[in-house]
């Protein structure tokens, strides 16, 4: 495009700083009436009660860092940051954590997140809300994952569980540069 590399670097840095300062206005964990609206949205769209979000990880490709370079090589062999995110029933982000290198597993990124700690502390019953995650996440009282061995009834659960998460996958593709 004809711009000098140093100009692009400054602009990217400036835009990134603005996004980071503003993100708390737009990425907000639902509470109160908003949480009820999200749960209702998941129930209306897929028949899943009490769901407040779908969690998954995605790898954001980066240039090899000069410090601790091997930690950033993911299982697919390229350098990345493992970003974990939660989306609501409309595909809007309600939680984002991009603080771990690509070699970290999705379950580790989630387990060490502030959101996981919050859910462990605050989600004491089913009505407090559930997340849906893939089989890479551990089953928790607030996190539903697929069954390992599914009979006919469990397969129905799998289909619904998968459809909800995959219906929201377009949100992650906006962030994934791969």
**What was the pLDDT predicted at 176?**
42
Indicate whether this model's pTM tops 0.85.
Answer: no
Is residue 177 very low, low, confident or very high in pLDDT (cuts 50, 70, 90)? very low
Written in H, E and C, the secondary structure of 107-144 is HHHHHCCHHHHHHHHHCCCHHHCEEECCCCCCCECCEE
Whether residue 178 contacts residue 146, with contact meaning beta carbons closer than 8 Å, is answered with no
Distance CA 57, CA 59 (A): 7
pLDDT per residue as tens digits for the range 91-117? 999 999 989 999 999 999 999 999 999
């Amino acid at each position: 495009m004809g711009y000098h590399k140093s100009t692009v670097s400054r602009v990217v840095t400036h835009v990134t700083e603005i996004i980071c300062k503003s993100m708390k206005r737009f990425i907000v964990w639902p509470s109160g009436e908003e949480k009820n609206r999200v749960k209702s949205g998941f129930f209306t769209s897929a028949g899943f009660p009490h769901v407040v979000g779908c969690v998954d990880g995605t790898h954001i490709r980066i240039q090899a860092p000069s410090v601790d370079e091997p930690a950033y090589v993911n299982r697919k062999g390229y350098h990345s940051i493992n970003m974990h995110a939660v989306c609501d029933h409309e595909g809007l982000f309600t939680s984002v954590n991009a603080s771990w290198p690509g070699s970290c597993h999705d379950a580790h990124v989630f387990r060490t997140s502030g959101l996981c700690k919050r859910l462990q502390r605050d989600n004491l019953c089913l009505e407090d809300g559930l997340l849906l995650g893939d089989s890479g996440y551990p089953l928790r009282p607030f996190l539903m994952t697929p069954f390992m061995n599914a009979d006919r009834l469990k397969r129905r659960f799998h289909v619904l569980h998968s459809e909800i998460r995959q219906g929201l996958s377009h949100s992650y593709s906006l962030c994934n540069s791969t």
